[in-house]
Amino acid sequence: MPQTQLTYLPRISHVLFIVIAGTAVLYIAKPVLVPLAFALVLAMLLIPLCKRMERAGINRAVAVLVCILLLLLSITIIIGLLSWQLSSLMEDMDNMEQRLAGMMRRVQQFISARTGINKNQQKEIVEQVNKEGSATLLNEVTSIITGGLVNVVLVLVYIFLLMYFRNHLMTFIKRAVPATQRGNVADMVQCAGEVSQQYLIGLSQMIVTLWIMYSIGFSIVGVKYAIFFAILCGTLEIIPFVGNLTGTAITVMAGVVQGGDFRLIAGILITYGFVQFIQSYLLEPLVVGKGVNLNPLFTIVGIVIGEAVWGLPGMVLAVPIFGMIKIFCDHFEALKPYGFLLGCGDKKDAPNGMLEKLLGIFNSK
């Protein structure tokens, strides 16, 4: 093997070691890093609003508190809408349970006919599984609720501190790097912040638009509690590729349990297809823009890695974090090939989506 090829082996081994060691640290430090990562992402979302209030003469601490209160108000409104629809859904729970029981009887008959296990044996198996797992499930639910409340408080505290001391943190970053790299690092941090803000603000606007479109579509096709399932499908868009499919699958199953026929299921799927078409070719280019410019392959890989390391929070944070990693790689010469690998290539001059293609046709004329 030529000597020039062997010189690349140490560099590749170093990169692999850093990736493996970094993944191990992320997994072990999950309780500490997950709230901090959420706080960092939400702080980037709120910083533009905070800066506007500061330019208007409002004290920074007051501006940060107002931003956090607005964030809590937005979350409260979403939870209120879901609770309103969920309370109506609970009123219809008896009818849904009857339909679900009928479906379960048909499933039991199918299993009995195919496997020879009668209904009583199936019932005993289910009861045994429930008996063994009930105590464990109760403990897990209690632990999740308690841990969730603690993490919410931590995230709010972290958001306040990150936003209030952002200049101090930026000064530390500049002092921590060699003088020759300070300008590059400052540009990298600014670029990461701008891209993250663009992505998060655009994603928020797109989710609200998806709520409206799903609400209209589900109402037209006759889905009960259309607003609840519209908010569910739109909110799950924070997990790319996986979220919208999960939300639609839940809506289809709910339609079946509600006694919906083939036309209702077809209507749900048609609504999903139409909304995804509008989202992919109009909303994402118009509202989200190029955003973090991640390759779809590595977007999915990032979601899988995020789920393996941090669970559901990792899936939500995967795209912003991988976007920051790409920006970091793009600002250092030795890491630029990895930044190119994570991205979609140089698409600055290429139309992105149907909207830009149409605009390009009109501009050419």
Q: Where are the domains of the chain?
A: 29-37+165-359, 95-156
Are the CB atoms for 206 and 288 separated by under 8 Å?
Answer: yes
Are the CB atoms for 307 and 314 separated by under 8 Å?
Answer: yes
Mean pLDDT check: name the lowest of 56-65, 106-115, 121-130, 311-320.
121-130
The residue type found at 360 is G
For the residues 92-105, what does the mean pLDDT come to? Answer: 61
Are the CB atoms for 44 and 163 separated by under 8 Å?
Answer: no
Q: What whole-number distance in Å separates Cα of residue 269 and Cα of residue 263?
A: 10
294 strand-pairing partners = 343
Q: How confident is the model at residue 64 (pLDDT cuts 50, 70, 90)?
A: very high
SS3 120: helix
Mean pLDDT check: name the lowest of 169-178, 204-213, 252-261, 274-283.
252-261
- Judge if pTM exceeds 0.85: no
Measured in whole angstroms, the distance separating CA 301 from the mean position of its chain's CA atoms is: 14
The four Cα atoms 36, 38, 40, 43 give a dihedral, to 10 degrees, of: -130
pLDDT digits (tens, 9 = 90+) for 136-175: 544 555 566 676 778 888 899 999 999 999 888 888 888 8
Q: What whole-number distance in Å separates Cα of residue 148 and Cα of residue 141?
A: 10
Most confident of 21-25, 69-73, 130-134, 316-320: 69-73
- Give the burial class of 361: count Cβ atoms within 10 A of its Cβ; 0-12 exposed, 13-18 middle, 19 or more buried: exposed
Q: What whole-number distance in Å separates Cα of residue 47 and Cα of residue 224?
A: 39
The four Cα atoms 45, 49, 52, 53 give a dihedral, to 10 degrees, of: -130
More confident residue, 133 or 275: 275
Q: How confident is the model at residue 362 (pLDDT cuts 50, 70, 90)?
A: very low
Q: How confident is the model at residue 358 (pLDDT cuts 50, 70, 90)?
A: very low
pLDDT for 121 beyond 70: no
Of residues 88, 104, 84, 103, the one with CA closest to residue 259: 103
Contacts of residue 84, defined as CB under 8 A and 6 or more positions apart, other chains included, come to none
- In angstroms, what CA-CA distances link 119 with 98, 115, 132, 159, 321? 18, 11, 20, 54, 50
343 strand-pairing partners = 294
